[in-house]
Amino acid sequence: MGDLGAIARAVGDEYLRVRRTTPFQRKALRAIGRCRTEEMGSVQTVCDNCGREHAVFRSCRNRSCPRCQFQARVAWLAARESELLPVPYFHVVFTVPESLNIIALHCPEVFYAALMRAAGNALLDVGRRKLKADLGVLAVLHTWGQNLSLHPHVHCVVPGGGFSFDRSRWVTVRSRTFLLPVKVLSRRFRTLLSQALWTAVRDGKLERLPKSVPVMRLIAQAAAQEWIVYAKAPFGGPEQVLEYLSRYTHRIAISNSRILRFDGETVTFRWRDYADENRTKESTVTALEFLRRFLMHVLPDRFVRIRYFGYLGNRNRTRNISDARKMLGCVRETSFSHRAAKPAVLCPVCKSRERLPVLRPPPLRSEHTRSIA
């Protein structure tokens, strides 16, 4: 079995010498390499089963680390439980033409912000036009394909209904299998994102693109294509929404369970080919190439990859959820079986899984980082 931290420790320094990296990529690579090692320090704990005391290394808590998303996911889910409504929930995925990937690669903070706004606002605009209602949208950014290729797309979860324009009543989606016309969504999404990219060019926000990239022609060619918006089957109920969110919101480009082997020079990992009947395949690449693919999906610092639109927007979300519940005749909040849990680790003595307290990592020491050439 391989481990991303072991790969980072083995070839991370070499990668930084031979490849250009951004400050946030270097920060993530250092943190992942230190995670659960002596360099992070340790805390003493006692096994609930055998009573033996042993040391547990602290985690890095970097959001790009596949070993450190448990607490963030649990805390986020706990906060979302009280916001679910007793209505069907729909799942919509927005993708972009592959030709725009070069903008995402060189200007990720500009491109991904525009991508998320275009996806959320496309749903709101088409909802107002077709349903005569103000919808709410939860949007989650993913940037990867199964084989770690660059594949920016946005997963949106949309409650099946919204407020009438005068907020006097709740407008319910008529069909329990169909939210909005997919082709209309696709074209509105294409318009919004193309306009945002043209504005970014005009304002000089895409200057990091290589001079050889004809960005205006690139955007124009993409805008002339048909874009793909995929509407998945609706969820069965709020419990299924939570299950979905637990798998998608804090997912990283690759988990350690998919890394099959690392021999010091090459990495073999498992991936699913959706274009070939969902068949599971294995790929072997050099460790440097593996890190290059992984670091493409490390987001800029402070970039928010989970965003809310419409009546789920942060400013008035609590009041809007309360008003929606009253209109739907839901007096009490729905109760769920999900409960916040502490992370479990394997006791090195008796091999049982014990629950640990929340461990906060020590602050990263200031280091001189290698600037972009």
Output Rg (C-alpha) for the chain, integer angstroms.
Answer: 23
Q: What six digits make up the tokens of 177?
A: 């299998």
Distance CA 256, CA 69 (A): 12
Q: Domain residues of the chain, as ranges? A: 70-253+297-328
Nearest CA to 78 among 307, 351, 338?
Answer: 338
Q: Which DSSP category does 98 fall into?
A: G
Helix ranges (DSSP H) in the chain: 4-18, 23-34, 70-81, 101-106, 108-130, 182-202, 215-223, 238-248, 287-295, 317-328
- Name the residue with tokens 């007096």: 331
104, exposed or middle or buried, with CB in 10 Å at 0-12, 13-18, 19+?
buried
Distance CA 32, CA 261 (A): 18
pLDDT in tens, the chain (373 residues): 679 999 999 999 999 999 999 999 999 999 999 998 888 888 887 777 777 777 788 889 899 998 888 778 888 888 888 888 988 899 999 999 999 999 999 999 999 999 999 999 999 999 999 999 999 999 999 999 999 999 999 999 999 999 999 999 999 988 777 789 999 999 999 999 999 999 999 999 999 999 999 999 999 999 999 999 998 877 777 777 877 877 778 888 999 999 999 999 999 999 999 888 889 999 999 999 999 999 999 999 999 999 999 999 999 999 999 999 999 988 655 444 444 445 556 677 776 665 555 444 444 443 333 333 2
